[in-house]
């Protein structure tokens, strides 16, 4: 596709449920990133993939958060037992160095 695609664009879930967020990066981009943007806050780094491996998982907030990438392409961010503080916009970006990151439009997650 022409850009980074994220789905769903909006997700409302009940506290305690699991959610999966999907990211389709730009074809050929080897690097993929997940960021979180909470209301009024800056972008918080979550995880970075180079190919299918994740050399930097330092930003994952807790063990309820996990991510995987398959075939060097699609990535899924999973949040288990969601809490209200997980409510945020989750942004995915991809790049082919040394070009700048290209971001998707994000998934707005609301935990009620």
Partner 1 sequence: KQEVTQIPAALSVPEGENLVLNCSFTDSAIYNLQWFRQDPGKGLTSLLLIQSSQREQTSGRLNASLDKSSGRSTLYIAASQPGDSATYLCAVEGVTGGGNKLTFGTGTQLKVEL
Where do contacts with partner 1 occur on this chain (CB under 8 A)?
A: 4, 31, 33, 35, 41-43, 45, 48, 50, 55-56, 58-59, 91, 93, 97-106
> What is the rounded distance in angstroms from the CA atom of residue 24 to the CA atom of residue 12?
21
Nearer to partner 1, 71 or 100 (CB): 100
Nearest-approach distance from CB 50 to partner 1, in angstroms = 7
Radius of gyration (C-alpha) of the chain in whole angstroms: 13
Nearest-approach distance from CB 65 to partner 1, in angstroms = 16
Nearest-approach distance from CB 81 to partner 1, in angstroms = 26
Nearer to partner 1, 6 or 82 (CB): 6
CA torsion sign for 46, 48, 54, 58 is negative
Nearer to partner 1, 64 or 108 (CB): 108
CA torsion sign for 110, 18, 41, 51 is negative
A 10 A CB-CB count for 92 gives 27
């Amino acid at each position: 596709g022409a850009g980074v695609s994220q789905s769903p664009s909006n997700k409302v879930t009940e506290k305690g449920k699991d959610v999966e967020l999907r990211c389709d990066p730009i074809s050929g981009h080897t690097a993929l990133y997940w960021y979180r943007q909470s209301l009024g806050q800056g972008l918080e780094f979550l995880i970075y993939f180079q190919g299918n491996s994740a050399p930097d998982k330092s930003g994952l907030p807790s063990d309820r958060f996990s991510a995987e990438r398959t075939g060097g392409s699609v990535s899924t961010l999973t949040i288990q037992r969601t809490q209200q503080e997980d409510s945020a916009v989750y942004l995915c970006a991809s790049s082919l160095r040394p070009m700048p990151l290209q971001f998707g439009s994000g998934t707005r997650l609301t935990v009620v």
